[in-house]
Structure 1
């Protein structure tokens, strides 16, 4: 038995014992519905039929609590509600709603336990169900991990159906007609004679009755929206420049703030001289904050100029200051003392490796900034014992709690107005900047304060993707892969991130091996070990988290072994694959790309696969060798998601993920010197240009019974598929990112 099974069973038994004494109370509490956060403050004629549907006399608002970061989350959530509510998307308004335990994220539990997503045993499913309880009790409202659709797939459709049936019950009371004679369409209840009773006119009566919770979801054959191409709800506003982001918030009497904190993350400010800044035009006040200083002024530009004029004496970095020291820390972490997990250990790897000279390889992946186009910003007003916050965030309840602690009020006195975000990629899972904005607002005498970080300040204080290293050893036999031993070293992402949020980090950090230990391949001797490096620069979740580096490590080394065996990269992966949906994904991408067909001289294909966040995804990259460097011509992508909610948004998400993965693999890195990030803007933190983008062909499969997310899974296979294609074209193995260190690209 692999160690994964032993760990999981022990964890499960311990949890069962701990729960047994209070099981009746626990089950009752778990099944009890969360309080509806929309119920407070309703006016006459308004009804909050569920936490997701608010009806007023002037319109219907759908609550979409998973943050929209540009990925279309608000639109997809609204689509799921509207499908069952029988209303058109152009008839509703969308609102992210208030922070609330009612919006806890059910799907997070599937990534929190040491079970591969392909493991659907009774033990695994029971453990996932148990894990869902603390997430609900704690009210963990987080957007991330490609969980928006898996979390909302059932609950949002049920919310729409409950609202629909409650409105029909209200119409029955109004008309005296039985509910069985009533239908709904286009935001209205239809009477047998064709009379339309708009939902807005039924709100007052619906608010007087208990919601109808015994509902049946519609058969897929009756769907009007799910699976059909639709225009995203935000496209018109974004295309015409009317979409409002956090950076656009404007309030009467507002002060504008800029900030400088120690560029050595977590370091102290030893002292400062603001005499020059105090005399600059528009400056209202100089305010010390934790780790630095801020300026309040009459516009953002003047605040930024003034804060740069302050002379500051910074303290040292609380981590190793130079990049070489970070790499050496990883090199020294491949020891038993540092081993964090060994969740995959099939066969007898040591014996097989000892029987012959193994193939060995080492891979490296650098720190990477998030660098969304909209820099971090927040607007706060503290007045009359109440705090109002306007910001784009993936963690509204943490923002509420942490700002309450800074200001010295109760969380209920903090009101978070979540805005549309101009990108995130995990950056807005952090709230340190909002806390600093709260410190500034405390000095503003009740006036609203808008803090906007300059690009340089934002990137200097990003909590980047983890630095990581992998070492592989393996053997081949009879034309096939026989042994695969991969060790991965990185600092703990979860420990770094959870510490800033004030949450404990216990046990192994599964992100150290995510996208590697849980791959659906039946290699006879197969081992994946995670090594927790010492804490280095503070890090955070970056699009696809641990799998963003581990997909490159795993699929690059597997490709090297397949080449050493003399096997075909696709055929050997298919032979090893022991998970039917994943096998179908590989077969599909091979068919899409015409794998095996001859290509012109100087052109080649590479393939990679990664199962991350429960979603199997395979990519084939085609490249051409030119006199000026490598040109990426085409990418084929297949992914199994169980159900494609909106084909247009699905394609956009996949294409964006591929470009994100390729661009960073080729060009980008964050390095440290004297404890400070050296890349502070897009001139030094480079990304893929439009002329470099390949044609990207996408196919979504719907064979799995479980609905999966797609925001992050296209990222991990992109880098290894490109590296494998470059090897096929040139014979050169790329084992470190960014690839531009070893290869030119056009």
Structure 2
């Protein structure tokens, strides 16, 4: 592709203006070190420990690495600790981690990099724009775990923190011994004087080192010197999760703690028409029933079960909704959106209409549909809140602690230093815990408890039926094949804008039309002479939000299914066609596709027992290719094996990367097989795992992962495994049965073991 496309150019201009503003008016501020949130509010040192920078604190017990990204099972806190430990020369067996406070100092610097152009473009110009995008990102100051950004964002930042601290500690030892710092070395948490054999522990040097201003960007070690990075290290969170001492929000206990739950309107945006809380208020253990902003109730009790039972006893009539009552009516709104002008056009070049006019029977057309999806985290939404003596404390698993802090501040115009967010481990996130609704409601409930802490736990039903869903989508494709690859491709995608929805309730910026609608279809390294991708954004009052791999979660399915349909139309091998399409655009993409074909011993779609499907998606900077084998049994389709090749640029912990890719594949296959949120009477139908099932252990295939390192930039791994899993399965089913599945979930069309 030779151009960025209309929307990309427009967004680029907006971003460029922000970048230019930073360069012209705020470069000096950008270059200033961020405030250290581990110090007291007046900048003085905390008497309990020494802090050399925002990522390191040292007390008599040793060194604690501050890992300001949420640990939700993906192992990120171990990976971030490795970055610091590598440069700081820590003993891995003694490394401790702690989630940092809610602070803009822990901003995600790379969050606007996608606006630099296509992710496969690693030209000098694109990389300069990516680097400049860090300026407005710093001023935006969002502390977020998501978008597979944590590792890539921290790769230099946290190594620099470790190296800077090591230099400060070395200088402190040199002063104490009266020698040159260059004569000293460090090892396993000590500074060593080789000449005398003396050594000083970091714990003994920390106070002096904290007064030394070391360079913020010191030289970093060459990968050939790495001791931890690139190795599969024992995860730091596993022992506590095994012995039961790990603390999730649902485990938090505070003295004199009350318990509560919520009963929210099942019709989004609809208020309370009438209600009777008398029965609930008189039930055993119930302290109070309160109304939450006319859209629901909270029951405060002496334990969670009694709160649940009392919430069920509330008699309420809810108002009407602004959106259609059922799923069919909702999809009608999607269909009608195609009649309006597109809100965005991407990757446009050539003239698709001219090619289509002469295509005749060679024109291939298909429409795909995907449903709304819930996040379905194992730990339901939970938060503990206390409001006492002008101070607000929130204990919860949050993917966006600064957004949560700001949302609570906005409720009552509180000051930043009065709101304290304590981020626990997360029992799953997938984007759901980047929302603030459940914790803000806990704050509102805590205001009614006279200073006592209250744990607010949502029932599974409330959680499932009051999510911020992955939006549904309809995609319409037209294409014409040449001898070896497509010569024309036209794509229309209708799906609500997540960014617009987020911008109405948080600090997330909505810069023009939402590129996420086309994510995973636009920006692929497909060298097609005539192409046009248009998006349409129907607006409905159904809450939507980030979901694992966001727009790529459905665009991977629609794009790669249609690529397979195009290949079939000319009896072409899909892998050979894809390699022809890449051309010289993305050498890394060629390598992952060739690798996965090698892993699977690819000879074609058919196997003795059934079929196999191929799919490739570039998402979150990671080139990912998968082949799935299925077989036909008398009990239904069996998913036998998944082969996956993923290129992450630099593999910091290969075993953990493999685990994350396996997790992403299972998450994708679950959604493909049975994931669906539907509506009746304006309400979500699904309520628990019996009607929103997860993939069972006996259904999970063998998964083989090859982790590659050809990408010029390091990428994250939490999400890229999901998008290609769905189309690879659909294409395998077609190869085995001849049935082309264009609507999810697939259990509407076929039976699975």
Short-chain TM bin:
over 0.9
Q: Counterpart of 1:211? A: 214
Q: Counterpart of 2:708? A: 701
Distance 1:504 1:650, change over 3 A: closer
Q: Counterpart of 2:169? A: 167
With 571-580 and 593-602 compared, the bigger mean Cα shift is at 593-602
3-state SS in 2 of match to 1:650: helix
CA distance in 2, matches of 1:78, 1:370: 28
Q: Counterpart of 1:72? A: 75
Q: Counterpart of 2:136? A: 134
CA distance in 2, matches of 1:596, 1:639: 21
Q: Counterpart of 2:559? A: 554
- Is 1:329 aligned to 2:352, yes or no? no
CA distance in 2, matches of 1:598, 1:164: 55
CA distance in 2, matches of 1:181, 1:735: 67
Q: What is the CA-CA distance between 1:441 and the residue it aligns to?
A: 0.6
CA distance in 1, matches of 2:482, 2:650: 39
Residues 456 and 680 of structure 1 are in contact (CA less than 8 Å); yes or no, is this contact kept in structure 2?
yes
Q: Matches of residues 253-402 of structure 1 in structure 2 within 5 Å?
A: 253-290=256-293, 291-335=295-339, 337-357=340-360, 358-402=363-407
- Is 1:199 aligned to 2:202, yes or no? yes
Q: Counterpart of 1:608? A: 615
Q: Counterpart of 1:416? A: 421
Q: What is the CA-CA distance between 1:454 and the residue it aligns to?
A: 0.5
Q: What is the CA-CA distance between 1:330 and the residue it aligns to?
A: 1.3
CA distance in 2, matches of 1:510, 1:124: 18
Distance 1:18 1:261, change over 3 A: closer
Residues 432-469 of structure 1: CA deviation (Å, up to 9, x unaligned): 11111111111110110110000001111111111001
Q: Matches of residues 469-484 of structure 1 in structure 2 within 5 Å?
A: 469-484=474-489
Residues 624 and 721 of structure 2 are in contact (CA less than 8 Å); yes or no, is this contact kept in structure 1?
yes
3-state SS in 2 of match to 1:108: coil
Residues 486-516 of structure 1: CA deviation (Å, up to 9, x unaligned): 2111011111122121555341100000000
- Is 1:35 aligned to 2:35, yes or no? yes
Q: What is the CA-CA distance between 1:92 and the residue it aligns to?
A: 2.4
Residues 481 and 565 of structure 1 are in contact (CA less than 8 Å); yes or no, is this contact kept in structure 2?
no
Q: Counterpart of 1:623? A: 630
Residues 45 and 203 of structure 1 are in contact (CA less than 8 Å); yes or no, is this contact kept in structure 2?
no
Q: Counterpart of 1:738? A: 745
Q: What is the CA-CA distance between 1:237 and the residue it aligns to?
A: 1.3
Question: Which of 671, 692, 706 is 2:678 aligned to?
Answer: 671
Distance 1:23 1:543, change over 3 A: closer
Distance 1:464 1:23, change over 3 A: closer
CA distance in 1, matches of 2:256, 2:501: 38
CA distance in 1, matches of 2:277, 2:178: 74
Q: What is the CA-CA distance between 1:242 and the residue it aligns to?
A: 2.1
Residues 548-598 of structure 1: CA deviation (Å, up to 9, x unaligned): 000000000010001101110111111111310011110110001101179
CA distance in 2, matches of 1:223, 1:267: 57
Residues 599-643 of structure 1: CA deviation (Å, up to 9, x unaligned): 653322110000011111000000101122110110000011101
Distance 1:605 1:439, change over 3 A: same
CA distance in 2, matches of 1:8, 1:437: 40
Q: Counterpart of 1:485? A: 490
3-state SS in 2 of match to 1:107: coil
Q: Matches of residues 331-730 of structure 1 in structure 2 within 5 Å?
A: 331-335=335-339, 337-357=340-360, 358-501=363-506, 503=508, 505-577=510-582, 578-596=585-603, 600-730=607-737
CA distance in 2, matches of 1:165, 1:551: 46
Q: What is the CA-CA distance between 1:373 and the residue it aligns to?
A: 0.3
Distance 1:553 1:194, change over 3 A: same
Residues 651 and 709 of structure 2 are in contact (CA less than 8 Å); yes or no, is this contact kept in structure 1?
yes
Q: Counterpart of 2:155? A: 153
Distance 1:136 1:73, change over 3 A: same
CA distance in 1, matches of 2:669, 2:200: 52
Residues 499 and 509 of structure 2 are in contact (CA less than 8 Å); yes or no, is this contact kept in structure 1?
no
CA distance in 1, matches of 2:682, 2:516: 25
3-state SS in 2 of match to 1:33: coil
3-state SS in 1 of match to 2:474: strand
3-state SS in 1 of match to 2:138: helix
With 187-196 and 19-28 compared, the bigger mean Cα shift is at 19-28
With 415-424 and 52-61 compared, the bigger mean Cα shift is at 52-61
Query: What is the RMSD computed on CA atoms of the aligned residues?
Result: 1.8
CA distance in 1, matches of 2:647, 2:310: 52
3-state SS in 2 of match to 1:106: coil
Q: Counterpart of 1:119? A: 121
Q: What is the CA-CA distance between 1:675 and the residue it aligns to?
A: 1.3
Residues 367 and 671 of structure 1 are in contact (CA less than 8 Å); yes or no, is this contact kept in structure 2?
yes
Residues 86 and 229 of structure 2 are in contact (CA less than 8 Å); yes or no, is this contact kept in structure 1?
yes
3-state SS in 2 of match to 1:551: helix
Residues 635 and 696 of structure 1 are in contact (CA less than 8 Å); yes or no, is this contact kept in structure 2?
yes
CA distance in 1, matches of 2:475, 2:606: 32
Q: What is the CA-CA distance between 1:705 and the residue it aligns to?
A: 2.0
Q: Give aligned pairs, total.
A: 744
CA distance in 1, matches of 2:199, 2:215: 21
Distance 1:719 1:502, change over 3 A: same
3-state SS in 2 of match to 1:434: helix
Residues 549 and 722 of structure 2 are in contact (CA less than 8 Å); yes or no, is this contact kept in structure 1?
yes
> TM-score w.r.t. structure 1 length?
0.97
Q: Matches of residues 216-255 of structure 1 in structure 2 within 5 Å?
A: 216-255=219-258
Q: What is the CA-CA distance between 1:537 and the residue it aligns to?
A: 1.5
CA distance in 2, matches of 1:288, 1:502: 27
> TM-score w.r.t. structure 2 length?
0.96
